[in-house]
Amino acid sequence: MKIDRNAPVGVFDSGVGGLTVAREIMRNLPSEKIVYFGDTARVPYGSKSKETIIRYSRQIIRFLQEQQVKAIVVACNTASAFALDAVRDELDIPIIGVIEPGARVAAEETKNKRVGIIGTIGTVDSGIHADYLKMLDPQITVIAKACPLFVPLVEEGWLHDSVTLEVAGRYLKEFKDEEVDTLILGCTHYPLLRSTIRTVMGEDVRLVNPAYETALELLRLLKEKDLLSTGTGQEEFPYRFYVSDLADKFKDFANSILPYDVEMTQKINIEKY
Ligand code: DGL
């Protein structure tokens, strides 16, 4: 199959979290167009089963393929952990997730070889970050903890709030006690809580946001496959946003964090895919 190099890249998440990845793609690959899907009707993914997340991911991928994307970025750790292996072989376009890039940076950056991981229940229970880290460096001790209240706090927009700070203090205490020097933000919603997490963890702990590395991984992949866009990035509507519910709420949120003016977000019926 001949893939159109000027087609958009598909990016998806359970909700607004994947915007942290889309934001890095916008900054680092400015000529690429994006079709973003946020599954706002079915968020959160982190407390659902593997079978359910695979089913959701397949539906979203079918939708993105209908939009004729040239590559897909699974901008969700939970879907990357549960569904990436299952869907990769079903596709004739490239697909990448967010877990490997984050693990790679953490393994490179840690000095005391004590790495913390925070994520959803699904991601943490899958053990996938720990597996990668151990594969990259068997000396690394991994401490992982699910922080299930973080996603609803982000979706609610409570990014800088005393309640969020209190919750973060409780979740993150263990990492301070364990003296990790590197903490992977293993859920794409969490970079939006970065300043709160920074306040709790202090200045000396390296916070790894896999979004930037994922954008660089996408750049490498598109280059390797000869799929980099030749467009100018100035086309009308280079970025299109779709959700499964509450389109206006999503649009307001997206506008508060993206370096781009989101004019329209469209609701679609993802169950029909
Ligand atoms: N942002 C997603 C992740 O990276 C999922 C959060 C959720 O829906 O629970 O895991």
**205 C-alpha to center of ligand 1: Å?**
23
- Which of the listed residues 210, 233, 256 is the one where a domain comes to its end? 210
pLDDT tens-digit profile of 92-151?
A: 999 999 999 999 999 999 999 999 999 999 999 999 999 999 999 999 999 999 999 999
pLDDT at 1 over 90: no
How many alpha carbons lie under 13 Å from residue 199 in its C-beta half-sphere? 14
Instruction: Please indicate, yes or no, whether residues 89 and 163 belong to a single structural domain of this protein.
Output: no
By mean pLDDT, which of 45-54, 69-78, 175-184, 259-268 is the weakest? 259-268
**217 C-alpha to center of ligand 1: Å?**
20
Q: Looking at residue 217, what is its pLDDT? A: 96
pLDDT at 20 over 90: yes
Q: Looking at residue 233, what is its pLDDT? A: 61
Q: Looking at residue 234, what is its pLDDT? A: 66
pLDDT tens-digit profile of 206-249?
A: 999 999 999 999 999 999 999 999 986 667 779 999 999 999 99
pLDDT tens-digit profile of 150-196?
A: 999 998 889 999 999 999 999 999 999 999 999 999 999 999 999 99
Instruction: Give catalytic residues, as residue numbers.
Output: 76, 187
Q: Does 2 map to a domain?
A: no
Instruction: Please indicate, yes or no, whether residues 24 and 159 belong to a single structural domain of this protein.
Output: no
Q: Does 1 map to a domain?
A: no
Q: Does 131 map to a domain?
A: yes
pLDDT at 85 over 70: yes
Rounded Cα distance, 87 and 58, in Å: 7
- Which of the listed residues 176, 193, 210 is the one where a domain comes to its end? 210
Mutate to test the pocket of ligand 1, among 73, 100, 188 (most ligand atoms within 8 A of CB): 188
Instruction: Please indicate, yes or no, whether residues 114 and 170 belong to a single structural domain of this protein.
Output: yes
Q: Looking at residue 260, what is its pLDDT? A: 86
- Which of the listed residues 169, 189, 210 is the one where a domain comes to its end? 210
Phi and psi torsions of 163, nearest 5° = -65, -45
Q: Looking at residue 263, what is its pLDDT? A: 86
Question: Exposure string (b/e) for 39-51, b if CB count within 10 Å is 16 or more?
Answer: bbebbbbbebeee
Q: Looking at residue 14, what is its pLDDT? A: 96
Q: Looking at residue 16, what is its pLDDT? A: 93
CB of 130 closer than 6 A to ligand 1?
no
Kindly report the protein residue whose alpha carbon is nearest to atom 8 of ligand 1: 44
DSSP 151: H
Q: Looking at residue 75, what is its pLDDT? A: 98
Instruction: Please indicate, yes or no, whether residues 112 and 199 belong to a single structural domain of this protein.
Output: yes
Total domains in the chain come to 2
Instruction: Please indicate, yes or no, whether residues 148 and 73 belong to a single structural domain of this protein.
Output: no
Q: Does 153 map to a domain?
A: yes
Q: Does 25 map to a domain?
A: yes
Task: Calculate the alpha carbon distances from 107 to 33, 76, 190, 219 in Å.
Answer: 31, 20, 20, 21
3-state secondary structure 17-55: CCHHHHHHHHHHCCCCCEEEEECCCCCCCCCCCHHHHHH
**91 C-alpha to center of ligand 1: Å?**
23
Instruction: Please indicate, yes or no, whether residues 23 and 73 belong to a single structural domain of this protein.
Output: yes
Rounded Cα distance, 38 and 12, in Å: 6
Q: Looking at residue 138, what is its pLDDT? A: 97
CB of 118 closer than 6 A to ligand 1?
no
Instruction: Please indicate, yes or no, whether residues 89 and 115 belong to a single structural domain of this protein.
Output: no
Instruction: Please indicate, yes or no, whether residues 28 and 86 belong to a single structural domain of this protein.
Output: yes
CB of 40 closer than 6 A to ligand 1?
no
Domain hosting residue 85, numbered range: 9-98+212-272
**190 C-alpha to center of ligand 1: Å?**
9
